[in-house]
Amino acid sequence: MDTGTESPFTRLGTLGVEEEFYVVDDAGRPTAGSDELVYESDLPPVLDDRIDHELFKTVIETRTRLIEDPEHAREAVLEVRNALVEHAREHGFEVAAAGLHPLAKWRELERAEKPRYRAQLDRIQYPQHRNTTAGVHVHVGVDDGEKAMWIANEIRWHLPIMLALSANSPYWNGYDTGLASARAKIFEGLPNTGMPTAFESIEEYRGFEAQMLETDSISDRGELWFDVRPHTEYGTVEIRAPDGQADPDRTMAFVEYAHALVLDLAERYEDGESKTEMRRELLDENKWRATRHGHDASFIARDGDGTVDLEEVVYRDADRLGVDGIREIYEGESGSQRQRRLRDEAGVDALCDALQLRVQQAASRRM
């Protein structure tokens, strides 16, 4: 299989956003609906080639069109979200979002028949059978392969920051895990996930892709499910750290943050900045802190000297990069805190209702 060439890395700053959602019934409970919505009905034009099912028939993935101008990112995200909600309602379903649906019990859910997923289930077994996760993936275009690889290496320190801010999956299989993002740990049960090792060059990364394909470790390069990767087909740096979100403003905060980080790092690369030396094990520790504590996390500093609170990182990056969304998320109730509060105060029905998507207008926040 072709593992790509450097030619896709031609444009800096374009965007693409992928989101994974749950198909639910009118009571907000996960149900099998992806076959009907994706394959057995006429899609509205907005969703043509923009949705696909995932491993479980209760999960659907959406993707925006190529976003040339970041100012139009919210519009692109909402046009897909709104079309999906309306399409689902026409067929008797609703749509919900979180890193894990609190009532999704993997032993009871129907799995897709798509050959790719059947092959994954056969190869990976238990870790994939229980993978009911849903996330947000942000693609940012980069105009040079070596630059993309350098950015992917350097941005790793920021991935636990995104995870901590997005943490929205305290419940798994119906019970409270004690984690802010149980999705992160469930997904890490799969091979080729989590915090990647730094690569010295895009050529080395392509060689790794080729080796994994040639040894039948993966069936396609899309099965390298790391928290960040240079996408050698799309010519992007793909950031895969955040939990799924019902509120589009929260999704847009991570899109805005990812875009700003990539552009900032691109400028640093062009200025000849040296790479950061940090052990992957320390980055793993930071991810664990985000997974466990969410908004209350502190992190091993980028230079390895002591720790830094999430608050300090958020305010510093918000000011430095000129982004407001992450500050607003930090200053509000986290997704995991909100889920626990709703379940404790109002019950599971209120929690399920709160996770459902609503049709929204594109006029409010812009990047």
Dump the DSSP string for 221-284: GGG-EESEEEETTTTEEEE--PBP-SSHHHHHHHHHHHHHHHHHHHHHHHTTPPPP---HHHHH
The model's confidence at residue 361, banded by pLDDT at 50, 70 and 90, is confident
Q: Does the residue 281 lie in any domain?
A: yes
Q: Residue 210 — φ and ψ, nearest 5°?
A: -65, -40
Of 114, 107, 124, 92, nearest to 23 by C-alpha is: 92
pLDDT in tens, 139-150: 999 999 999 999
- Left if phi > 0, otherwise alpha if psi is -120 to 50, otherwise beta: which for 172? beta
Say what the pLDDT of residue 367 is: 58
- For 250, the token pair is 């929260």
Say what the pLDDT of residue 363 is: 59
User: Residue 52 sits in which domain range?
Assistant: 15-354
Assign residue 237 the CATH number of its domain: 3.30.590.20
Instruction: Provide the percentage of residues in the chain whose pLDDT is more than 70.
Output: 97
Strands 225-226 and 193-194: parallel
Considering the entire predicted model, what is its pTM?
0.95
Q: Does the residue 154 lie in any domain?
A: yes
How many structural domains comprise the chain? 1
Q: In which element (H, E) is residue 300 found?
A: strand 298-300
Q: Does the residue 3 lie in any domain?
A: no
**C-alpha distance from residue 237 to each of 1, 285, 287 (Å):** 21, 23, 19
C-alpha–C-alpha distance, residues 202 and 209, integer Å = 10
Count of Cβ atoms closer than 10 Å to residue 183 Cβ: 29
